[in-house]
Structure 1
């Protein structure tokens, strides 16, 4: 009896969590419908709320924004908008910080999360997986002797929080493992192990 119950949990819990996350994402993206006049909203036109219409609208807005930003006029408007935001005291610091992070994460030329590494953390003989995010910069470089790398160590099972470390390059062992496989390994708390590769 207990065996069947656990088997049922192993099947239904991941499915329930997946559906819950998808519902939360779609419900959040559906908020873009609030930009439309009341007369144009689906519940006004068909008489009931249609889940997912706002998601399509959000994706369309993102696509059109990217399309417009590629031409001269759109690029000029974006620069003017960013220049305006930079002049607002509190907004400028928040916007510039978020933009730097998003440019690093989503830019095709960015180096964030390009490689999974194995490091000793939080103490010697205790190992964890982290992600290379680049090299230290600014005045930090003046206080570090030798080659250092910047590493993000995510927490388990929530990888959106974690620790930022700067450690000697020779102490970060590059893994022959994709970022996706490493994230699955971390989120599953080691249950979903990546494929075993022969030693080089």
Structure 2
């Protein structure tokens, strides 16, 4: 990967906890859309004022997209500099003082620590796996295997698998399934996350036969 790509990726990983926090909070606030959305009385007032868009809407979108990309790249430069660690610590101290936002941000940070391949400790022992519910042939789920150490339940070996949600794999389910249902999957955690983020458009690696 080129230097520009590495810097941009660093900035993206640094911004991802905040972006995920904003996404989750925005999703919660969308429940109020029926009161403040375009079809509401407030929305109709805004439309009457001419704030609903115009011929330059596409240009405004492209400009905003470019500004976001530039901001992410600039954040990557800051993280690569000596100010990165100090700035990150200061930002986390500030945001963790906000009651509701701090909980969401903490969950987002844990997710980023999983997908950040530079943090070897956070992904140590984790690997993608295929889980065949009911055994082969059966419904196959691409999951994350936190540990290969089985748990004895009812005299049988069970493995814990993490099944992310799509398209934002910040949530999901932790399921203990029979060890015979689980087989290793090709690729790494990056490939697994890309499958979920793309909602299956990116094909997973070939399952063992």
TM-score by length of 2: 0.48
Structure of higher CA gyration radius: 1
Higher relative contact order (CA 8 A, sep 6+): 2
